[in-house]
A and B are shown apart, each in its own frame.
Chain A
């Protein structure tokens, strides 16, 4: 599903990713562990096609869902619209779309905030909306950039449990600096330092 071959990416004079090769199969969750600036987010952006590598090849097969580090919730859209907007194409017409929105609101415990805009939600609530939006269209590939960063201990544990069944059957790449998140959510952990997998 995801195959990276000898990827290099520089940001100006700084080496962001250096000679990274990686494969993630369907049904596999891989965590990228590392400190800030180690290249995790850049790698996710390369997989998502938001940035192009300076050299190497990126092969991605399937639709992508992503949780951004900044969450990137559209400020003018209500919670249910955030989910609705990503449901397009023949599969999500009419009743199927409505049912899927209701399902996502229910799964992520967002029913009572369906008609609120992101600016009126707490950090944890916004995190749930971002996760719901990422998985709503049932993507084959899921890219999660610090997916539980805005949550406290209790909420973090609860959301991990909600996430586990959702990750099954997809190729998942998780960027995190939290070892516990990586251990629970991923089957394989890779450590990154100065743009390299070590």
Chain B
């Protein structure tokens, strides 16, 4: 085993441990905030989503500055693992929260009646949440093992960085794939194990109506260590994850005094003006991949449902085939995007007829759509599972066709989840560096790649203003969607007027 491979393993294990502990601590913080009727939990969820959606290069760059300022050993594996875990703990937190929201509150009430407090946590709560915890930790491990930006920023020689350097200098696909084989094998095995855990786990999902907030199920239970401790710890972890990135963004953009303002403004505006083509490229990649990934994801999910219903069983939609399809779709998402780029270049070189598309926009769009197709697919299947079975049964009783059932029952219920999934793909594609770094066409460099390069040369002001532009671009569809929904809700309907008139 080579040193970079060992470094990769150590980096991934340390990140997993830190992120699991952090995610659990914030989870207890959310549970401890049960008396706040859910708003405490909402703040933590909002912060966690914010951490996940923060551009990794921005987060890593800000922590590099903080570490250097405090004279910490930044170019080490533990520091890099700590920084990445501050971005990945939300995976553990959100998975635990989702599992606990589905706990039937009376299961814990029964525990309160029959068991002493210590045994409630050891024998009831932990076994019910353990599959979710293992699943989340496995996902964090794979993401950390395949992470490119954070270890590269912190100058940790990991396997992925080695593969990148080797491939970009020699363009030897076979050698690059062979070198990355151990990472692939470990990731795929962990992913398979995680998927099995998720499928077999008993998470107490007897409750069809998920609670409004996780604290609802845990209300009245004594929390080991006290509620104040966990609420405080959760808040500290959240702030440590968000503040450096946001603070860095603001301090890089806003100059310290008037004189600096004059000298800064020209380079800042210049940076934006010069980067207009890059912003355009980012928009094409993000919007295009969101569109294609959503269409393909829903089409694959729909095809599986149709085949399952024609065969009169659920074997395809819910059984081993579904598990296999999900595993195949999730693989490009959790593996490093670098591998996808190497594979596509290798494939187009091997197949002469496809050589034309190397270095085109289409290749970049295809790579991003393949990488993120799992998100809309998963959103569709989860949203469908939450539709009341009575509604689908009624459609069966009244012999609605498959298309009519989709239009009348499934689509209205799944629409919000699919819109959210499309937005997630849009944001992730906007931040993406590793998928495009090897395959972007000449003149098609996105902002994220320019930022990644600028970070290395210390152009802080330019990094700040371009990041701010990218964050604004990321929020734009969400704000537009919110505005449209708000306007829709407040538009008086003709039917409403009629009803009032009748009264």
Q: How far is the CB of B210 from chain A (nearest CB, A)?
A: 15
B52 sits at the interface (CB 8 A): no
Q: Which of B104, B111, B112, B124 has the most chain A CB within a 10 Å cutoff?
A: B104
Residues of A within 8 A of B104 (CB): 70, 72
B111 closest partner in A (C-beta): A74
CB <8 Å contact, A74 and B119: no
CB <8 Å contact, A75 and B128: yes
CB <8 Å contact, A86 and B106: no
CB <8 Å contact, B114 and A133: yes
CB <8 Å contact, A75 and B115: no
Q: Mark A33-57, 1 if CB is under 8 A from B, else 0.
A: 0000000000000001010000000
B116 sits at the interface (CB 8 A): yes
CB <8 Å contact, A74 and B106: no
A85 closest partner in B (C-beta): B123
CB <8 Å contact, A75 and B109: no
Number of A interface residues in the complex (CB < 8 A): 21
Q: List A75-90 residues whose CB lies under 8 Å from chain B.
A: 75-77, 85-86, 88
Q: Which of A64, A69, A70, A74 has the most chain B CB within a 10 Å cutoff?
A: A74
CB <8 Å contact, B202 and A137: no
CB <8 Å contact, A76 and B119: no
Q: How far is the CB of A78 from chain B (nearest CB, A)?
A: 11
Cα-based distance from A12 to B453 in the complex (angstroms): 57
Residues of B within 8 A of A77 (CB): 127
Cα-based distance from A64 to B114 in the complex (angstroms): 8
Q: How far is the CB of A93 from chain B (nearest CB, A)?
A: 14
Q: Mark B85-108, 1 if CB is under 8 A from A, else 0.
A: 000000000000000000010110
Q: Mark B271-301, 1 if CB is under 8 A from A, else 0.
A: 0000000000000000000000000000000
Cα-based distance from A65 to B115 in the complex (angstroms): 11
A117 sits at the interface (CB 8 A): yes
* A-B CB contact pairs (8 Å), 30 listed: A48-B113, A50-B112, A64-B113, A65-B113, A66-B110, A68-B106, A68-B110, A69-B106, A70-B104, A70-B106, A72-B104, A72-B107, A72-B110, A73-B107, A74-B107, A74-B124, A74-B128, A74-B204, A75-B128, A75-B202, A75-B204, A76-B128, A76-B204, A85-B114, A85-B119, A85-B124, A88-B115, A88-B119, A119-B202, A133-B114
Known: A74-B107, A86-B114, A137-B114. 11 other contacts (CB 8 A): A50-B220, A66-B113, A70-B104, A72-B107, A72-B110, A73-B107, A74-B128, A75-B205, A75-B206, A76-B127, A86-B115
Q: Which 7 A-B pairs have the closest CB atoms?
A: A72-B106, A86-B114, A72-B110, A76-B202, A75-B202, A76-B127, A68-B106
